[in-house]
Structures are given as structure tokens and as C-alpha cells.
Amino acid sequence: MPKDCVAITGGASGIGLASAAACVARGWKVAVCDRDIRALAAAETRLGDRATYTAVDVTDETAVEAWIEAAAGQGRLIGCVTSAGRGADVPALQTGADLFRAIHEVNVLGTFLAAKAAARVMQDTGGGSIVTIASVSGVRGSKGRVAYGSSKAAVINMTQVLAVDLAHKGIRVNAVCPGPVETPMVAEIHDQATRDHWLRHVPMRRYGTVDEIASLVAFLLDETQSSFVTGQAIAADGGFAGAGLTSLQG
């Protein structure tokens, strides 16, 4: 019997790669796509033949559709995770149209294209679960995130709309909103001052790990765990998004 399969965009690094590993651990076949060919090769070294690895830019509709079709050929497509994303911490008045457009194209359009391609397959194969990776920056107005934060807010609303449009087809759609998580993207964007700033505002006073995000992703993918959960934006953020005044201790 063919295995259940999960397609993961941006699956060669960070949260996407950890999600791929969590899916493999549950016995699911994984189809990873990413635009970074070197990262794809490194992911293959880690996960081996329990996954497939395809170079795709998520803003290319034809390429995304071909990749999802190939993924569905490996087994029943039960899940799709949209982790490909681009970040920026740039003051609003220094954010040019090119940067704004580029971030929205990957984070918003790229998420939509993958979710739509996956849902088109799932509607004919008994349903499934789509998990978008949004951000706490999509629910709070943090500095420097006029492009990134607005793109993630769009992902959250898109998730809600897709959940409504696809519920009757047996497809659940949920967003995970990570707080700061140690990944290659964060290593590039967060300098020490930014790290200190985050730690002052996260009640748990630490960054999350990719595995802490991946376990929530796997829960939302798993029909035996989350079958009545759809249209939600769930934060895994050490308390950041829910916080008011934080403790003076620690």
C-alpha cells in the first residue's frame, strides 16, 4: 500500500527541515522543495531516501504544481507545510517597493500557490491537512516588520479563508505562528541587540528550537490528533504574543 505523503516547501532548512524530520519519524513519506540547492543536498544527507528533494521557487506556479503532482505520485498526499519564507528587519521608511514586493511574493503568493496545488489534489483523494508557517510578527506590530509582518498577517487571514473554503472537502488548514526560533534565517537577521530585545519581551526568556515548532506542525498534520482543528493560528512563542507586563524577575 502506498505511504501517506507530506509536501513541505522550504523543507531544506530550519523549521521546514525539522518538520520534514518529524514527518519521517511518523512514517510518512516527505517531498521537500526549496530553492537552495546546497541546502537540499544537505537535507538529503540527513534524511536520505525517506524524502525526495526538488529545486523549486515557490513563486513559480508551474513548478509548484509539477512538484505537488510528483509528490502525490509517491503516496496519498495527506499534508502540505508551507515553510518557505523570507524575512527582513528594516525600518518602515527605509523599506523600498522592491523589498516589500519580494517578501510578499515569497511569503504570501508562495504560500497560496503551494496550498492551492495541494488542496486540488487532496479534494480528490479524501482530504488532508495544510499547515502554513506564519509568525507572531503577523499578529503583533513589531519594529522593522512593515513588509514581513504584513505578509504574515496576510498568511494568517489566507489560512482562515482557505479553512472555510476547503472544510467541506475534508481539508483542514491551520497556521503556526512561531516566535523567535534558532534557524539559519534568524542567525542572519538577529544581531546581539535584536536578541537581547527579544529576550526582554519573551516571558520564557529564550528562543525556541526548530523541534518545538515541528512537533506542533506534526500535531496539526495528524488526522488522529487534530481532526476537529481548522482555521486556527496557533503561536509557539514562549508567551510573546499573549504577554502584557512581564515579570521583573528573570
Distance in angstroms between the alpha carbons of the first and the last residue of the chain: 53
What is the rounded CA–CA span in Å between residue 155 and residue 135?
Answer: 9
Kindly state the cell numbers that stand for 57.
521557487
**For 217-242, b where at least 16 C-beta lie within 10 A, e where not — what string?**
bbbbbbeeebeeebbbbbbbbbebbe
Neighbours of 38 (CB within 10 A): 10
| 110 versus 238: smaller Cβ distance to ligand NAD | 110
Per CB under 6 A, 186 contacts ligand NAD: yes
Nearest CA among 182, 109, 187, 180 for reference residue 145: 180
Residues annotated catalytic, as ranges: 148
- The residue range among 80-88, 122-130, 218-226, 227-235 that interacts with ligand NAD, by the rule CB under 6 A, is 80-88
Pairing of strands 233-236, 171-178: parallel
Which residue's CB is nearer to ligand NAD, number 44 or number 223? 44
Cα torsion through 100, 153, 149, 35, rounded to 10: -60
Residue ranges in 50-79 that form contacts with ligand NAD under rule CB under 6 A: 56-59
Instruction: Copy the grid coordinates of residue 35.
Output: 530553492
Q: Does 13 bind ligand NAD (CB under 6 A)?
A: yes
CB of 12 to ligand NAD, least distance (A): 5
> Cβ closer to ligand NAD: 76 or 133?
133
Q: How far is the CB of 224 from ligand NAD (least distance, A)?
A: 25
Based on the shown chain and the rule CB under 6 A, indicate whether residue 19 belongs to the binding site for ligand NAD.
Answer: no
Burial class (CB in 10 A: 0-12, 13-18, 19+), 1: exposed
Q: Is 181 in the site for ligand NAD (CB under 6 A)?
A: yes
The β-bridge partners of 208 are: 181
Tell me the helices (H) and strands (E) count for the chain, helix number first.
Answer: 10, 7
Type of residue at 90? V
Does residue 86 belong to the site contacting ligand NAD (CB under 6 A)?
Answer: yes
The span of 12-20, 44-52, 114-122, 228-236 binding ligand NAD (CB under 6 A) equals 12-20
For ligand NAD, which residue of 53, 77, 81, 110 counts as binding (CB under 6 A)? 110
Binding range to ligand NAD, per CB under 6 A, among 24-32, 162-170, 176-184, 217-225: 176-184
Report the residue number, 182 or 223, with the smaller CB distance to ligand NAD: 182
What residues make contact with ligand NAD under the rule CB under 6 A? 9-10, 12-16, 34-36, 39, 56-59, 83-87, 106, 110, 133, 135, 178, 180-181, 183-186
